[in-house]
Amino acid sequence: MNKIVGRKKEIELLQRIVESGEPEFVAVYGRRRVGKTFLIKEFFNNNFTFYFSGSENASMKTQLENFQIAFQNYFNMTIPVPKSWTITFELLRKGISSSRKRGRKVIFIDEMPWIATMGSNFIQAFEYWWNTYASSNPDILLIICGSSTSWMLNKIIKNRGGLHNRVTRQIPLQPFTLKECEEFATKQKMLIDTNQILDYYMILGGVPYYWKQIDKSKGLPQNIDNIVFNNNATLKDEFAEMFNSLFKHSEKYITLVITLGEKRTGLTREGIVDLSNVSDGGSITRMLEELEQCGFIRSYYGFGKKHRDRIFQLIDLFSLFYINFIHGMKNNDEQYWTNNFSTSKHNTWRGYAFEQVCLLHIPQIKHKLGISGVSTNYSSWRSIENSAQIDLVIDRNDHIISLCEMKYSKDEYTITKEYNDILRKRYAIFTDETKTRKTVHTTMITTFGVKHNIYWKNIQSEVVLDDLFAI
Share of the chain above pLDDT 90, in %: 82
pLDDT at 363: 97
pLDDT of 206:
98
**Cβ pair 245, 32 in contact under 8 A:** yes
Indicate whether 62 pLDDT > 90: yes
Q: Is 394 left (phi over 0), alpha (psi -120 to 50) or beta?
A: beta
Q: What is the mean pLDDT of residues 36-47?
A: 97
State the pLDDT at residue 87. 98
> Of 24-33, 330-339, 374-383, which gets the smallest average pLDDT?
330-339
- Helix, strand and coil content of the chain, in percent to the nearest 5, comes to 45, 15, 40
Residue 29 identity (one-letter amino acid): Y
Q: Which fold has domain 238-356?
A: Arc Repressor Mutant, subunit A (1.10.10)
115 has a pLDDT exceeding 70: yes
pTM comes to: 0.94
- Give the pLDDT of residue 332: 78
Say which CATH topology domain 361-469 has: Trna Endonuclease; Chain: A, domain 1 (3.40.1350)
Q: What is the pLDDT of residues 441-469, one digit of tens each?
A: 999 999 999 999 999 999 999 999 999 99
Helical H runs in 22-111? Answer: 36-43, 60-75, 85-98
Average pLDDT, the chain: 94
> What percent of the chain stands above pLDDT 70?
99
**What confidence score (pLDDT) does residue 341 get?**
79
68-99, pLDDT tens digit by residue? 999 999 999 999 999 999 999 999 999 999 99
pLDDT digits (tens, 9 = 90+) for 238-261: 999 999 988 888 999 999 999 999
CA distance 69 to 125: 19
Q: What is the pLDDT of residue 173?
A: 95
Mean pLDDT, rounded, for 404-413: 96
Q: Of 165, 90, 171, which is closest to residue 134 (Cα–Cα)? A: 90
pLDDT band at 308 (very low <50, low <70, confident <90, very high): low
Q: What is the pLDDT of residues 370-405, one digit of tens each?
A: 999 999 999 899 898 878 899 999 999 999 999 999
Task: Please give the pLDDT value at position 384.
Answer: 84
Predicted confidence (pLDDT) at residue 333 exceeds the cutoff of 90 = no
Residue type, 283: S
Q: How confident is the model at residue 162 (pLDDT cuts 50, 70, 90)?
A: very high
Give the pLDDT confidence score for residue 374 in this predicted structure: 96
| Beta bridge mates, 393 | 379, 403
At the top level of CATH, the class of 8-172 is alpha beta
pLDDT at 330 over 80: no
Q: How far is Cα 233 from Cα 193, in angstroms, rounded to an integer?
A: 25
Q: Which of 77-81, 129-133, 148-152, 451-455 has the lowest mean pLDDT?
A: 148-152
Cα distance between residue 150 and residue 319, in whole Å: 19
pLDDT value, residue 92: 98
Residue 135 has pLDDT above 70, yes or no: yes
In which band, very low, low, confident or very high, does the pLDDT at 307 lie, cut at 50, 70 and 90?
low
